[in-house]
Chain A
Amino acid sequence: MKLRRKLLGSSIVTLTALAAFTIIGVVAFVMGTIVLGGMGTLSWEFLTSSPTEGMTAGGIFPAIAGTALLVIIMSIAGVPVGTVTAIYLSEYASQKSILARSIRFAVNTLAGVPAIVFGLFGLGFFVQFVGTGMDRFFSGGAELQWAQPNLLWASLTMALLTLPVVIVSVEEAIKTVPQDLRAASLALGATKWQTIWKVVLPNSATGILTGGILAVSRGAGEVAPILFTGAAYFLPHLPGGLSDQFMELGYHVYIMSTQSTNVDATRGIQYATTLVLLLLTFMLNFSAIFLRSRIRARQLQ
């Protein structure tokens, strides 16, 4: 009887260990496949030149550039809004007020909305509603410039998607600023905003950076929101302005591997593009984790 219980015990422990190591194995396997498949095609030239011969050869520079533009504009829009929201939640809102609780609820809910729904919102709100309004304003509706998918709308959509990530990161950093620093500032006759600007925010800079990095990581990786708000597969030149469409790494992989004219021949490019995307998100997440541990370490001081 005891033996059976012992066996049961060890098998349970083994099972859980097996589960854990399966995960590790799968992660390694996925990364390994991508690295091996893409290594051959990855080169400096690949990263810096444009596609040639009808997308079957050449590099992916436009996709890299497009992704970069996307995340830059996204960050310019999203990081300040997220930071300010975090400031509101931790410094201005009384914890019990309905306002504060609804905003928190909204942030949590936003975090759970599927990416494709953000795409729908981007299409229905930015492209159709705001875009049409802008066209009407600028040219009386004659010119169709803003009421179509483009870089600006895609970036703003992405900014909304990554807003919760920024808010959570910044709030976490603000919380680590000790209360007695605020007290010292107030006791010297500083106002609330002066205290936030001169004491709280400078000490939360790491958190803001972390939030930004995590947002960029997600922004570069999510494809669903930009499927119909601005991304394109083949563009003859780089986007010249906010109202242009753009190429993007994740979108490129998707289209090339499912709908391009010669899927097999371009397999190398697909792998290499995926590898670039993977490495990018990997490095970004790694730096964010590193920064986050710095914030936690400071909190323990």
Chain B
Amino acid sequence: MDTDAYKIQTRNLDLYYGTKQALRGVSIDIRPNRVTALIGPSGCGKSTYLRSLNRMNDLIDGVRIEGDVLIDDVNIYDKEVDVVELRKRVGMIFQKSNPFPKSVYDNVAYGPRINGIHERQKLDEIVERSLRRSALWDEVNDDLRKSALALSGGQQQRLCIARALAVDPEVLLMDEPASALDPIATAKIEELIYELKQNYTIVIVTHNMQQAARVSDYTAFFYMGQLIEYDETKKMFTTPEKKQTEEYITGRFG
């Protein structure tokens, strides 16, 4: 495998909400099949950056982007790029799990159905595979018709992961996926992330530094819309280069 190729590259990314600038000149290169964590205090722009990677920011009125976001050398903000197709390849897990008020099966099958897959057997396969990959299969396969809302918080989040996996993305974006969960559910999710990076490139936003240290290969530290430091996690947490990074990691602010 060519370890020098980057999956996602951001070059001098500026983002404005109207007149307010939320991201300043962010340049990061994200490696494939690795977990990259984005950390920083509230409002530092990490979630905004994450959402730029699947163009979910487009949904907000008055958002303006300058700079480049390249995935496999394709500029995703190019006028010729179809946003809907992009989002099939870059999946997203949200902070608060948001399963549809449908059955477990229909939640996971939602994506494939949208892509035109309707044969029962194929859907069954995809649903099972996705649920296995998100470590939820054993807990729900007795009744896939059960309403998704009847699951526990942690299970719902894993369902959301299964749902995202069902469309077979290449990248998974996770916006504080475990922040609303208890420690045991959190641990399950973190274990899952470790498994998932075999097949997916994962970018995860977290406000929990210990989680970042546990889970990620690379970490990017954001502050006030700017990228302060970006390095291998082990290095960042043991010998950070910038003073600000050190202060944040040791809990002196944020």
Question: Which A residues are within 8 Å of any B CB, using their own CB?
Answer: 94, 178, 180-181, 183-191, 194, 198-199, 203
Contact = CB atoms under 8 A, between A and B. Distances in A.
A189 B84 contact: yes
Interface stretch (B35-43, B109-117, B211-219): B109-117
Contacts of B59: 183, 186
B54 interface: yes
B61 A94 contact: yes
A190 B91 CA distance: 12
Interface in B6-33: none
Interface string B96-122: 101111000000001100110000000
B27 to A, nearest CB: 25
Given A94-B61, A183-B56, A188 B98 contact: no
A181 B100 contact: yes
A188 B100 contact: no
B131 to A, nearest CB: 16
A178 to B, nearest CB: 8
A194 B92 CA distance: 18
A198 B98 CA distance: 15
A187 B92 CA distance: 6
B46 interface: no
Contacts of B84: 189-191
A203 B101 contact: yes
Contacts, number: 59
Contacts of A183: 56, 59, 94, 98
Contacts of B114: 188-190, 194, 198
Interface residues on B, range: 20 to 34
B127 interface: no
A184 B88 contact: no
A184 B56 CA distance: 10
Which of B61, B94, B110 has the most chain A CB atoms inside 10 A of its CB? B110
B167 interface: yes
B173 to A, nearest CB: 8
Interface in B41-85: 54, 56, 59, 61, 84-85
